[in-house]
Structure 1
Amino acid sequence: MLQRFFGCVYLSAVSQLVTLTGTQAKCPVQLSPKSVVVEYGGSVAVNCTASVPHYWMGWEASEGGVDKTRDSVVTWTVSDLREWDIKPFCYVNYDITHDIPCQVELLVTIYKTPDSVSISIVNHKGPMKEGKQYELQCDIKDVAPVQNLTVKWYKGQTLLSQTTFTDTSITPVNEVAKLLITAGRADDGAQYRCEAELDLGAEGPQPPPTVTSKPLSAEVN
């Protein structure tokens, strides 16, 4: 009877070890939210919750790090986030035999709306000639991240075209978008403009932040 009892205890311990080993691969913590979108200079707060008993846990980050604690919930907070390449992660040690705790990284997207957006005609001044092709240029100053930027071209209230970018830079850059048009008699007096829109997904601000150029009035002979 005693042998059977110890056998049950042994099997229970093995079962628990298997469970923990499987959990280790996933790291038994949950981030809330799992990723964040923050405006440059804005504030952020993210909770990390341990789902199993542990010896200690905390946050490792160049800003807002949290030292080891026995608490089951630790919060990463920054009131004025200005580090573009920040990569905070929550870590937990739930097995004292492990020298290195498991960790989960928080995806942080920092954005900045353009300082200015302007529209012009490339290498041309004065009236346009009917039937001739011209190139419009939209200058976007100091925007990030550029891979989330869409430039929309309008004539009056009509959307003519959209321009996206493949640059993966996460820090502010200056960008240029261009659009070819053919001047027509009906374009005389038309108002052209370009809009820089930052679409940061469902976790970003809604509607997406948009900066619009002053209108360019077309004059066609």
Structure 2
Amino acid sequence: MELLKAWPKSSLNLLVFAIMLSGAPGIIWIEPPDPVITPGGNLLVNCSTDCDQPQLIGLETQLDKTQKDNGTRWRVFLLRNITQDTRLLCFVNCPGKQQMLYSTNVTVIQPPEHVDLEPLPRWILVGQNFILRCQVWGGKPRQNLTMALLRGHQELSRQPVSEQAPEKTAEVTFTATASREDHGANFSCRAELDLGAQGLELYQKSSAPMELHTFVLGTPRLIVPKLLEVGKVETISCETDKLFPVENAQIHLSLEGRSLSPTVRWGQDTLRATAPVKGQREGQWELTCNVILGDQNREVRGNLTVYKASRDPVPIVMWVLLALGLVVLAGAFASLYLRRTLRRGSYQPQMLPLQDRVPTELPETRPTGPSPEATA
């Protein structure tokens, strides 16, 4: 099986050379320090010391080990099938000194197993801040683990996950501001375990992408005539000029809960609906305009007053003219009567004296029948 090393040999030689030049007695070290390996891998461990004549150099571990090579001041051990994190302890017995000990930790890597992006709101208002939460299972060692936020293939942000315990699910949050450019874009999280410095590869795991929808939705305006006569037809309209994306919007008009069939026109960030309304009967009727965009809606209400004229205009004019004629005629009769009355009141007859009065002689009347002398 492949033998894995995590400490470059050139760096190790420099470290050993520096320690030997220091002349400090009783020093022990392990090659490689704090190794990182893949699950089930093998590892060569070198325990070394600066003791001139060490009596014993050994390695304490629970793993299956075999001594592969040795020198006066060093021993090399092969550790096989390492499946979990473990601790190694090198010891050296140097004459005239206490036993020297040196330990290190072997970390078995765990590539990211699963990455999840918490569900996003279905629609987010343009200009509003929102939080994206990314979770990762696995990924060890955590000090080599980072989380990146992506929009499509573009990396927007990156954060380390090193401060979180490797046995727990790690969570990283990103704050973003919704823009029009984000509408319809796919967002995802990508966990990266970079072990290039340990001679290993880069392990990546991404979440399923989620599509984001952004919107702008202003309050619509309802344009309604104040009065509508029974039997007449007027046009009502509803419009909004702050709308994005306009092609995904719907607009509805209703009168007292009864849907109308408007004519709808789209423009750049504008939407307008018009519909004819006929006055059926007197009263005050409620008009409603509702603009819907995704799971968002804006509603506005207004009132339409329908009235009935008390009389037809032509008969009213005729009655008015007739009344005026009667008034004029009555005035003429009154004026004539007044004139006659005034004339009579101004004439006073004169009385004659009695002596001036001459009786009128009546003609003598004679009988018309035969005389008595004749009858006789």
TM-score w.r.t. length of structure 1 = 0.71
Look at both structures and tell me which one has the larger radius of gyration over its CA atoms: 2
Q: 3-state SS of the aligned residue for 2:200?
A: coil
Q: CA deviation at 1:116?
A: 0.2
- Counting only pairs closer than 5 Å after superposition, residues 149-168 of structure 1 correspond to structure 2 as 149-167=145-163
Matched letter for residue 130 of structure 2: Y
Aligned length in residues: 190
Name the counterpart of 2:244.
none
Q: Which deviates the most, 30-39 or 135-144?
A: 30-39
Q: Which SS does the other structure have where 1:186 is aligned? A: helix
The one-letter amino acid paired with 1:193 is S
Find the counterpart in structure 1 of residue 82 from structure 2.
81
**Structure 2 equivalent of residue 197 of structure 1:** 192
Aligned amino acid, residue 89 of structure 1:
L
Q: Distance in 1 between matches of 2:24 and 2:131?
A: 60
What residue number does 2:15 align with?
none
Q: 1:66 to 1:105 in 2, by over 3 A?
A: farther
Cα distance per residue 1:44-63 (max 9 Å; x no partner): 22223455332221101232
How far residue 31 of structure 1 moved from its aligned partner, in angstroms, is 3.2
Q: Provide, for residues 179-212 of structure 1, a one-character-per-residue CA deviation record: whole Å limited to 9, x for no partner.
A: 1222222112212111111234622523x32212
Given candidates 102, 105, 109, the residue that maps to 1:104 is: 102
Question: What does 1:53-92 correspond to in 2, within 5 Å?
Answer: 53-64=53-64, 72=72, 73-84=74-85, 86-92=86-92
**Structure 2: which amino acid aligns with 1:81?**
I
1: CA distance between counterparts of 2:175 and 2:70?
62
2-structure distance, mates of 1:168, 1:119: 18
Query: Which amino acid in structure 1 is aligned with residue 123 of structure 2?
Result: P
2:47 aligned residue = 48
Q: For each residue in 1:87-115, what CA deviation from the matched residue of structure 2 results, as whole angstroms up to 9, or x when unmatched?
A: 212222231x44x4212223433321121
Q: CA deviation at 1:117?
A: 0.5
Q: What's the % identity of the aligned pairs?
A: 23
- SS of structure 2 residue aligned to 1:47: strand
Tell me whether 1:185 sits opposite 2:180 in the alignment: yes
Q: Deviations over 1:139-178 (max 9, x none)?
A: 1113323233211111123221112235363x42201111
Match of 2:134 in 1: 138
CA root-mean-square deviation: 2.9
Structure 2 unaligned spans of 5+: 1-22, 216-376
Normalising by structure 2, what TM-score? 0.44
Task: Give, as a single letter, the amino acid of the residue that structure 1 aligns with 2:213.
Answer: E
Distance 1:154 1:38, change over 3 A: same
Q: Is the 8 A contact 1:154 1:161 kept in 2?
A: yes
Indicate how the Cα distance of structure 1 residues 70 and 111 shifts in structure 2: closer, same or farther if over 3 A, else same: closer
How far is 1:74 from its partner? 2.9
- Structure 1 contact 54–70 (Cα < 8 Å) conserved: no
Most deviating of 190-199 and 102-111: 102-111
Matched with 2:208 is 214
SS in 1 for 2:62: coil
Tell me the distance in 1 between the aligned counterparts of 2:93 and 2:65: 17
**In structure 1, what residue type is equivalent to 2:194?**
D
Aligned to 1:94: 94
Matches of 1:31 and 1:163 in 2, distance apart?
A: 32
Does residue 1:23 correspond to 2:25, yes or no?
A: yes
Assess if the C-alpha contact under 8 Å between 1:118 and 1:138 holds in 2.
Answer: yes
